[in-house]
Amino acid sequence: MALALPPWSLWLLAWVGLVPLWWVVVAVPVGLAAVYGLLWGLVYYGISLAWITHLHPLMWMGVPWLNSVAIALSAWIFIVLWGSVCIAVWGGAVAWLAHRWPKRSFWLVLAGTALWCTLETLRNYSPLDWSPLSLT
């Protein structure tokens, strides 16, 4: 899925990249679905936001080399976790709905899609809105 974003821009992957995640979260318990959502988010955001590690080197600002590495990695980890938690919330919520509605229900697909769009919209209002699905 991360390859659908620039600089790779394989945008066709965006049309199928969420299908495996959907299949998993509707088939497992809520807690496990949230964990799988978190793992999917870690891979997706970890790859798509790897450029943040290029903050290093900051020695030109007088920051020592080791501190520069720590700052770059901390920024990357924090931002990746922020996006991944949103995917974990989505996965848990869809799994919760899937246990109440039929798995092939139109309403489940509609609610899952609406929840994804809602979470991306809410992330839009945060200062860390990087790599949304709509960027593909």
User: How far, in Å, CA of 92 to CA of 24, rounded?
Assistant: 11
User: How far, in Å, CA of 35 to CA of 71, rounded?
Assistant: 27
Q: What is the pLDDT of residue 134?
A: 62
Residue 24: is its pLDDT beyond 90? yes
Beta-carbon count within 10 A of 24 CB? 17
- pLDDT band at 136; cut points 50, 70, 90: low
Residue 89 included in any domain? yes
Taking residues 6-35, report their average pLDDT. 91
The mean-pLDDT minimum among 60-69, 96-105, 122-131 falls in: 122-131
| Cis-peptide into 7, omega within 30 deg | yes
If one counts the domains in the chain, the total is: 1
Per residue in 26-80, pLDDT (tens digit) is 999 999 999 999 999 999 999 988 888 888 888 888 889 999 899 999 999 999 9
- pLDDT band at 128; cut points 50, 70, 90: confident
Q: pTM of the full predicted structure?
A: 0.86
Residue 70 included in any domain? yes
Residue 1 included in any domain? no
Residue 21 included in any domain? no
3-state secondary structure string across the chain: CHHHCCCCCCCCHHHHCCHHHHHHHCCCCHHHHHHHHHHHHHHHHHHHCHHHHHHCCCHHHCCCHHHHHHHHHHHHHHHHHHHHHHHHHHHHHHHHHHCCCCCCCHHHHHHHHHHHHHHHHHHHCCCCCCCCHHHC
Residue 113 included in any domain? yes
The closest alpha carbon to 70, from 47, 53, 46, 84, belongs to 53
Taking residues 78-106, report their average pLDDT. 94
Q: What is the pLDDT of residue 14?
A: 84
Residue 63 included in any domain? yes
Residue 33 included in any domain? no
Q: What is the pLDDT of residue 34?
A: 98
- Residue 99 belongs to domain spanning: 41-135
Residue 68 included in any domain? yes
Cα angle, residue 16 at apex, residues 115 and 116 outer, rounded to 5° = 10
